[in-house]
Amino acid sequence: EKNDKAADFANYFCTYAFLYHQKEMLSDRVRMEAYYNSVFKNAHHFQGKVVLDVGTGSGILAIWAAQAGARRVYAVEYTDMAKHAAKLVAANKMDHIVEVIQGSVEEIDLPEKVDIIISEWMGYFLLRESMLDSVLVARDKWLKPGGAMYPSHARMWLAPIKSGMGEHKMQDYEASMNDWVHFTQNTRHAFGVDMSTLSNSYREEQVKYFLQTSLWQSLYPSQVVGQPALVKEIDCLTVTLDDVKAVSANFQLPVFDGETRVSGFAGWFDVRFQGSPSQAADETVELTTAPSINDTTHWGQQVFLLHPPLHVRDNDVVHGSILMTRSKTNHRLMDVVIKHAIGKGAETASAFHIE
């Protein structure tokens, strides 16, 4: 248990310690505008309030909360990025309001409870990284009754798509297996060892790598060939760890007129900033990571390709189910099983990993 945590921390946090990586997030205009607007269009909700920023990174959200009028902001960050955050806070003359605390939010201590928790915890397809867990721990420990979560709500979507990547990945996979055949022949001839007993294991490894790993893609809206389905809704104020440990949903995905091929599915998410039930935001801000021409984000979409692709006819409905669980060896990565059928056809199950 303790060892698992050490390994997890070593793996998970290392990229966040680099300004280069924080800059990538800070350069995501869609992300930045959504959080900026969520704070400043509701500035009066921040005035005089105590705020906790879970995972402050560079400190950006904490500084905005202070600029919007918060009385006190606790900005918690596990990595050494905390040192840069403290510097940034001071340079922007907010060190009388923002206190940067280096540590994991699960373990740090605050001198008081807070009115608002703000956090940018979303990973690929919302839940990758499982950072929401930390936000929920912080909420249950430090948020005052009646307090607000920023963002307040999150949703996950799944849609049928078309893509050339399916054929691509299949070709890469086949090339890799051909290469294995040459390799085993050569190892036998040149070095007297027959490797062919490992061929099935190698195939499994390559299938997993090329065909069962979801892909990061920034899709064009025109690649979405059917109605997206809502597969999960989260109220950040009330959701529990159990609610997000496994996500399962049935879906109906009517395919648009004239579309004949479904290469697979794309998953994305949105979050909304609506304040709290007792203090609703005046203006709801939404951050969506749906396929877009101009408003793309660094999250892109997660694509789950089917091998072979589906052939559909006008007005066919692709229906089925999705089950997303945490990978057994790393709780920050995800295993996904998508079952699908067309109309009354037989159901097919496909397994994927979000790496």
Ligand X SMILES: Nc1ncnc2c1ncn2[C@@H]1O[C@H](CSCC[C@H](N)C(=O)O)[C@@H](O)[C@H]1O
Return the exposure string of 71-98: e unless at least 16 CB atoms fall within 10 Å of the residue's CB, then b.
ebbbbbbbbebbebbbebbeeeebeebb
Q: Give how far Cα 3 sits from Cα of 6, 293, 346, Å.
A: 5, 44, 45
Q: Which residues contact 340 (CB under 8 A, 6 or more apart)?
A: 265, 306, 310, 318, 319, 320, 347, 348, 350
DSSP line for 103-115: S-TTT---SS-EE
Residue 23 contact among its own copies, ligand X, none, beta carbon within 5 to 8 Å by kind: its own copies
Map residue 170 onto helix, strand or coil.
helix
How many Å from the N-terminal Cα to the C-terminal Cα in the chain? Answer: 22
Question: Tokens 């060896």 map to which residue?
Answer: 329
When the beta carbons of 173 and 220 are compared against its own copies, the nearer one is 173
When the beta carbons of 201 and 240 are compared against its own copies, the nearer one is 201
In the shown chain, the binding pattern of residues 124 to 163 toward ligand X, with x for contact by CB under 6 A and - for none, equals: -------x--x-----------------------------
User: Given candidates 38, 42, 56, 297, which one binds ligand X under the rule CB under 6 A?
Assistant: 56
Residue 76 contact among ligand X, its own copies, none, beta carbon within 5 to 8 Å by kind: ligand X
Report in angstroms how near the CB of residue 214 gets to its own copies at its nearest.
19
Among the listed ranges 72-80, 218-226, 276-284, 319-327, the one in contact with ligand X (CB under 6 A) is 72-80
- Compute the distance between CA of residue 234 and CA of residue 153 in angstroms, rounded to an integer: 6
Report in angstroms how near the CB of residue 257 gets to ligand X at its nearest.
41
Q: Which of 106, 107, 129, 167 is catalytic?
A: 129
Residue 349 contact among ligand X, its own copies, none, beta carbon within 5 to 8 Å by kind: none
Give the tokens for residue 143: 């948020």
User: Given candidates 8, 13, 202, 209, which one binds ligand X under the rule CB under 6 A?
Assistant: 13
**What is the side-by-side order of every strand in the sheet holding 348-354?**
247-254, 317-326, 334-342, 348-354
- Compute the distance between CA of residue 201 and CA of residue 198 in angstroms, rounded to an integer: 5
- Judged by the rule CB under 8 A, the positions of this chain that interact with its own copies are 2-7, 9-11, 18-20, 23, 26-27, 29, 32, 36, 58, 60, 63-64, 67, 84, 87-88, 90-92, 180, 183, 187, 190-198, 201-202, 205-206, 209
User: Given candidates 58, 223, 301, 350, which one binds ligand X under the rule CB under 6 A?
Assistant: 58
**Phi/psi at 305 (nearest 5 deg)?**
-90, 145
Among the listed ranges 54-62, 247-255, 314-322, 345-353, the one in contact with ligand X (CB under 6 A) is 54-62
Report in angstroms how near the CB of residue 209 gets to ligand X at its nearest.
18
User: Given candidates 38, 42, 79, 184, which one binds ligand X under the rule CB under 6 A?
Assistant: 79
Q: Which of 1, 33, 112, 120 is catalytic?
A: 120
Nearest CA to 99 among 118, 80, 73, 79? 73
Residue 194 contact among ligand X, its own copies, none, beta carbon within 5 to 8 Å by kind: its own copies
Map residue 127 onto helix, strand or coil.
coil
Residue 57 contact among ligand X, its own copies, none, beta carbon within 5 to 8 Å by kind: ligand X
- Report the site for ligand X in 93-122 (rule: CB under 6 A): 104-106, 120
User: Given candidates 8, 16, 90, 337, which one binds ligand X under the rule CB under 6 A?
Assistant: 16
- Per the annotation, the verdict on 120 as an active-site residue is yes
Q: Mark out the alpha helices in the chain (DSSP H runs).
A: 2-13, 19-26, 29-40, 43-46, 60-67, 81-91, 132-142, 165-191, 199-206, 241-245
Residues engaged in binding ligand X (CB under 6 A) = 13, 16, 25-26, 55-58, 60-61, 76-79, 81, 104-106, 120, 131, 134
Active-site residues, by number, are 120, 129
